[in-house]
Amino acid sequence: MKIKSILVAASVLGLSLLTACNSTVNKSQAESTGDSGVRTIKVATGHTSKPLSWVDENGEVTGYEPELIKELDKVLEDYEFELFGVEDSAGETGLATGKYDMLAGGLGFTEERAEQYIIPSESSGRALIKIYVAEDSGIESIQDLVGKKISPLSPAGATYKSVKDWEEENPEFKLEYDLADVGIPIADRLKEVATGKYDALFYPSSYGQIEIIEDQNLPVVGLDPVKIIPTFFMIHKSEENEELKQAIDEGLKELAEAGVLSELSTEFYAEDVFQYD
């Protein structure tokens, strides 16, 4: 009797899983091939990268990139955009496999990405690599960092590359720093500069530094960017997405000309990232 009950329970579990999977399929297929001729584009974006993109208290995906997507949704009549907040690695994996049509992750152009994805001609934003120093440090530019204590740089990512590029262009200045994947929240790293543990911190400016410095009342300032990197949406490589690329280019151009990109930048980054162009 007991064995029979276990077998029945197992079958019910298996069937309910399969049924649930099927119902998800039907719903998604109906969504993406709606009768209205409007194509639904699935966009992956980060869920913990405030202010670039994050999930707010109401469970809504928001931030500079998601709000830009919502603006594109308004100007591109043939497309509808659905946002998915996921981990960065899941976003890129899902884009490569076609699970997502587009990735809004504040990514820069690289040859490898251009080979793997379709990259629009119009950029969606700017990644600014800035130096954060104590207000009274007297440091005004990257040249002043010779002989100073620099917070460790992550060997991966654009920050280290930007610093290395600058060093190659300016061999007369020798900077000293360690390489480490620190994993400390940006708020704590800014505090390390404020308390004098380090004299300077190189960091992309899109992590809410201005808001953190104001909220925590830290005596820290961000200098002008060392490097300005245009960022792009990445599109899954397929024939039908060539049309999507055209549409994204047109939409971004229209929004940039109308000043929407600068407005969103000021709203989320507390400064217009396009002012340094």
Partner 1 sequence: MTMETGMQELLMEFLKTLPINIIIIILSAALGLLFAVLLTFVRLKRIPVISQLADLYVSFARSVPGLILLFIAYFGIPKVLPLIGLGTYVISPMHAAIISMGFYHSGYISEVFRPAYLAVEKSQHEAADSLGYTPMQKFFRIILPQMVPVALPGYGNALVYLIHDTSLIFAIGIVDIMGTAELSISRSYGINQILIYFIIALMFSAMCFTTDGLVRKLEKRVAIR
Contacting partner 1 (CB under 8 A), which of 75, 150, 182, 186?
Answer: 186
- Per-residue burial over 69-108, b if 16 or more Cβ lie within 10 Å, else e, is bebbbeebeebebbbbbbebebbbebbeeeebbbbbbbbb
Give the x/- contact pattern for partner 1 in 99-128, rule: CB under 8 A.
Answer: x-----------------------------
Q: For residue 237, state whether it binds partner 1 (rule: CB under 8 A).
A: no
Using CB under 8 A, which of 47, 227, 236, 245 touches partner 1?
47
Q: Is 235 in the site for partner 1 (CB under 8 A)?
A: no
Q: Which of 136, 118, 128 is nearest to 219 (CA)?
A: 136
Give yes or no for residue 86 binding partner 1 (CB under 8 A): yes
Q: Residue 254, Cβ neighbours under 10 Å: how many? A: 15
Q: Which of 227, 228, 232 lies closest to 109, judged by CA?
A: 232
Instruction: Please pick, from the candidates 155, 185, 196, 219, the single residue that binds partner 1 as defined by CB under 8 A.
Output: 185
Taking the least distance from each CB to partner 1, the nearer of 188 and 242 is 188
Residue from 56, 135, 176, 214 in contact with partner 1 (CB under 8 A): 56
187, amino acid identity? A
Beta carbon of residue 71, minimum distance to partner 1 (angstroms, whole number): 22
> Which one of residues 66, 208, 222, 225 is an interface residue with partner 1 (CB under 8 A)?
208
Helical packing angle, 260-269 and 240-257, nearest 10°: 80
- Is 49 an interacting residue with respect to partner 1 (CB under 8 A)? yes
Q: Which amino acid belongs to residue 127? A: A
CB of 49 to partner 1, least distance (A): 7
Kindly report the backbone phi and psi dihedral angles of residue 253, in degrees, each rounded to the nearest multiple of 5, phi listed first: -60, -45
- CA 107 – CA 65 distance, rounded (Å): 11
Choice between 5 and 147, CB closer to partner 1: 5
Q: Is residue 20 part of the contact set for partner 1 (CB under 8 A)?
A: yes
* 266 CB burial (10 A radius; 0-12, 13-18, 19+): middle
Q: What's the distance, Cα to Cα, between the start and end of the chain in Å?
A: 76
Give how many residues touch partner 1 by CB under 8 A. Answer: 43
Interface with partner 1, residue 38, by CB under 8 A: no
Alpha-carbon distance of 88 to 77, in angstroms, equals: 28
- The single residue among 66, 94, 105, 204 that binds partner 1, judged by CB under 8 A, is 94
Binding site for partner 1 (CB under 8 A): 3, 9-10, 13-14, 17, 20-22, 24-25, 28-29, 47-50, 54-57, 59, 84-87, 89-90, 93-94, 97-99, 184-188, 207-208, 211-212, 216
